[in-house]
Amino acid sequence: MSTQEKYPNPTELAPDAYLTETQYREMYARSLRDPKNFWSEQAEKFVTWFKRWDEVVSGDFTKLNVQWLKDAKLNACYNCVDRHLEKRAQQTAILWEGDNPKESKKISYTELYEQVCRFANVIKKQGIKKGDRVCIYLPMIPEVAIAMLACARIGAVHTVVFAGFSADALKTRIEDANCKLIITANEGIRGKKVIPLKANVDEALLHDKNKRKVIVIQHTSNETPMDTKRDVWYHEAVKTVKTSCPCEMMDAQDSFFILYTSGSTGKPKGILHTIGGYLVYAAMTHKYVFNYQEGDIYWCTADVGWITGHTYGIYGPLCNGATTLLFEGVPNYPTPSRVWEIIDKHQVTIFYTAPTAIRALRHEGDEWVTKTSRKSLKLLGSVGEPINPEVWEWYFEVVGENRCYIVDTWWQTETGGILITPIPGVTPLKAGSASFPFFGILPGIIDDHGNEVPDNQMGKLVIKQAWPGMMYTIHGDRERFENYFKEFPGNYLTGDDAKRDEEGYYWITGRNDDVIKVSGHRIGTGEVESAFLTHPAVSEVGVVAIPNDIKGESIYAFVTLKPDTKQTAALKKELVAKVRRVIGPIATPDYIQFVDALPKTRSGKIMRRLLRKIANNDLENLGDTSTLADPQVIDAIIEDRKKLLPKDNK
């Protein structure tokens, strides 16, 4: 029995789907054969334009001169707010759930319009105009979405910095983007923990010579020091402005936002997206990938400090006139049922989260899920990293009760939107597979010499044709942008490895540098990690490579165990045997280090780059660690690593 035969037919799981398999195949073929007319139709369908484009797409990956919707005029805020007022004036645009389960708000499209206009006028009073950069450093409160839309309304370029970042990380981003204004809150709250946002801004601007302004939202009642020459209380400033603000007419190629993503070395990369193509792609992918229908309650759990929060928390859903949910807290506060309780409270129909969150909630036990209803759910999504088949199946069977369609999506900050995904009602499900390319996406899997590899063989994932949501450049660093296309000219090198099976399904196996070559065999770290997770004692695992004189590379595994499980030599032997059984002797792990926690970014990704450096005792330069959720985790792993000798660890 093939994997997808285990699950119901896609039309049973998504009976209200927009497309049949035949329609999908026809649309996909046309999107590659005739991209200009295809994307012209989509741009007309999903976005309202002040002036139509002269040419829908020009340029290519060889000359790196791609332009979408040339000379078209629009405004992103108008598309996300104003144009919905006639039909959706009283519909809820934003549902907000506070850290405290007793706190929540509903903001209608009319209320959103008024609040965005007021915020835009406050920003303008600080001297901000079209093209200026604004840093937004806010928790997941309604004002973060309102501030983003306000910037879009007046043509300011926003760079959202995750509210968990340190003062140093904030300073780096403010200076690189040359932001003239910082929007923050006095404090943030996550899991009842207070985050000193304004204090971090003060520290970041301690030696600021550019006389940047700061708007402060009062989120808590705690006393907050204010610099009267620099800082402005939002609740005071908003009383002095009008509830109307005209939309700036923007060119489709104008800068929309800069979003920073960490590199393995050097400073973070400021990914720059332009307005027109990004908005078309965000809206279209949101509708088709999530099977969004009128009346759905949509929840993307990603913080807006990350691209997922931008595209599928704010711009995609609001462009489609949806109700989008923002959550200030954490999944396990006050109990591990919190996520499922929120779904019941607000009758969420579409839920999109990261494998890390799914694994963590699975780790807590089924009873926290099954004590809730979740009957409103119709679709579940996964994003951020490959999802292990065992975790995928738990998501489908326990959370979705075998009745919710799952979209396991693959994309990046650089791509702007989802590139590979199942399509509800169309794609038979395979646990752990990202499935098929979205419209207009032409992937390839190639070897080190640029040749296509056969089915079921791992290679480097490239994209061969431009799509509307792709980044325009790296802010202030064109050379780093060109590096994406340098190794295989004419192709966008994603940095991920993948394989395609005989039925055409794509399987993302990890980053290019997350591939281990053992005796000439390429083994994806994701495959090894999935094998570890089939053992009932294992909670999470991060696998990396270390040099081996004979085999080329050996497998080194960092393993966290479930509560009340003892770290024993006997268990290590069990785990080695388990991996050998699941994958084969070639994947035998040579080293296993038990750890209390794995280093993760604040968006929940395991930082395998740091694990690789620790495993190899390369501790001189750990690179950019500003995205770490808990820096102390690294210190503990390093200390444990020093105590381990290879002869004791086999």
Distance CA 465, CA 542 (A): 33
Burial class (CB in 10 A: 0-12, 13-18, 19+), 632: exposed
- CA–chain centroid gap for 557, Å, is 25
Tell me which H or E stretch contains 466: none
Distant-in-sequence, close-in-space partners of 645: CB < 8 Å, separation ≥ 6: none
What secondary structure does DSSP assign to 75-94, as a single string?
-HHHHHTGGGHHHHTTSEEE
Whole-angstrom distance, CA of residue 283 vs CA of residue 613 = 40
List all residues 6 or more positions away from 118 whose beta carbon is below 8 Å from its beta carbon: 238, 241, 242, 243, 245
CATH class of 124-249: alpha beta
Give me the pLDDT at residue 522, please: 67
pLDDT of residue 166: 82
Structure tokens that stand for 282 in this block: 């965000």
Q: How far apart are CA 471 and CA 412, in angstroms?
A: 10
Mean pLDDT by runs of 10 across the 650 residues of the chain is 72 95 97 97 98 96 95 98 98 98 98 98 98 98 98 98 87 95 97 94 94 97 95 97 97 97 69 98 98 98 94 98 97 96 98 90 94 98 90 96 97 97 97 97 95 94 98 96 96 95 93 75 81 93 88 91 93 94 86 93 80 88 74 86 58
pLDDT score for 4? 59
The CATH number of domain 519-649, selected from 3.30.300.30, 3.30.70.2860, 3.30.750.80, 3.30.460.10: 3.30.300.30
Which two three-digit tokens encode residue 159?
Answer: 């760079």
> According to the model, what pLDDT value does residue 520 have?
64
Topology given in CATH for the domain delimited by 3-81+265-510: Rossmann fold (3.40.50)
Q: How many CA atoms lie within 13 A of 190 on its CB side?
A: 16
The dihedral sign for the CA sequence 62, 63, 64, 68: negative
Structural domain boundaries in the chain:
3-81+265-510, 124-249, 519-649
Structure tokens at 637: 């792993």
* Separation CA 640–CA 560 (nearest Å): 13
Structure pTM?
0.87
What pLDDT does residue 264 have? 47
Cis peptide before 334 (omega within 30 of 0): yes
Q: CA 51, 54, 55 angle in degrees (round to 5)?
A: 130
* Distance, C-alpha 169 to centroid of its chain: 19
Tell me what pLDDT residue 650 has: 40
Query: How many whole angstroms separate alpha carbon 445 and alpha carbon 437?
Result: 13
Q: Cα 338 to chain center, whole Å?
A: 21
Half-sphere exposure of 123 toward its Cβ, with a 13 Å CA cutoff? 36
Same fold, 124-249 and 519-649: no
Residues 469, 486: Cα–Cα separation, whole Å: 20
* Amino acid at residue number 11: T
Instruction: Say how far apart CA 338 and CA 368 lie, in whole Å.
Output: 9
The pLDDT value recorded for residue 262 is 66
| Three-point CA angle 247, 249, 254, nearest 5° | 120
Taking alpha carbons only, the member of 121, 105, 51, 113 closest to residue 86 is: 113
pLDDT score, position 552: 81
Give the number of other CB atoms < 10 A from CB of residue 49. 17
The residue ranges of DSSP E strands in 505-588, in sequence order, are 506-511, 515-518, 521-524, 538-548, 552-561
pLDDT score at 584: 78
Positions of E strands within 6-156: 55-58, 67-70, 73-74, 92-97, 104-108, 133-137
Q: What is the pLDDT of residue 75?
A: 98
Q: Phi first, then psi: what are they for 521, rounded to 5°?
A: -95, 130
Check residue 548 and report its DSSP letter: E
- Which residues does 296 contact at the CB level (< 8 Å), separation at least 6? 322, 323, 349, 350, 378
Which of 432, 434, 433 is closest to 389 using CA atoms? 432
